[in-house]
A = this chain, B = another copy of it.
């Protein structure tokens, strides 16, 4: 997918209709596309925040807590928008889990206070608010839930967000992230994640095949697993 197609897809998906052509052209001028191979890291100007539109593939946004230790803050799939903050207390990096096409836009491009780009600003606010909600939910999960509940939550979330990938008769999805990456996003170790996978399988709530094929057999049961707060946690 080339830049024009990628930008058009982005515009279709998030830009409102009432935007002037001038504003769109200005944004288009400052955006650029990038192809990332699996495992490839997006290099950005650390001093500015960016919005990244994921055209295809899957990505992770991770914070470097210490050397060789990172905390994954968000997973994003095709059609999602990621807010990448500037360098602060932690450094953040967007990494592709699978080959991915992304559209990079400095946040400044949305923040002009010219009358024409007001609608753009609104988009930026809404996307940031959405990211804030997701982050707060994540914080709640990390603070108050057991390992079992965290994984159940995670699987339900991914299962729902990748729904379009199983529309063609397929009942399974391909998890683009490794067990280690799941662990890093849930604040657990890889061993604990693996054990929870096994137990959910034994409970008959999910089925797995190979490393990455997942099928949620009993969404309601999984939801029950995820729902209740840890009695002991």
Interface positions of A (Cβ within 8 A of B): 18, 49, 63, 65-66, 69, 71, 73, 83, 85, 88-90, 107, 110-111, 113-115, 117-119, 121-122, 124-125, 128-129, 131-133, 135-140, 142-144, 185-187, 228-229
**Of the candidates B18, B66, B125, which one forms a contact with A229 in the assembled complex, judged by CB atoms under 8 Å apart?**
B66
A73 to B110, CA, bound (A): 28
**Which of the residues B124, B132, B228 comes within 8 Å of A135, measured between beta carbons?**
B132
Known: A121-B118, A125-B121, A144-B187. A132 touches B65 (CB 8 A): no
Within the complex, what minimum Cβ distance (angstroms) separates A58 from chain B? Answer: 20
B144 touches A90 (CB 8 A): no
A137 CA / B117 CA spacing, docked (Å)? 31
* Cα distance, A187 to B49, chains bound together (Å): 29
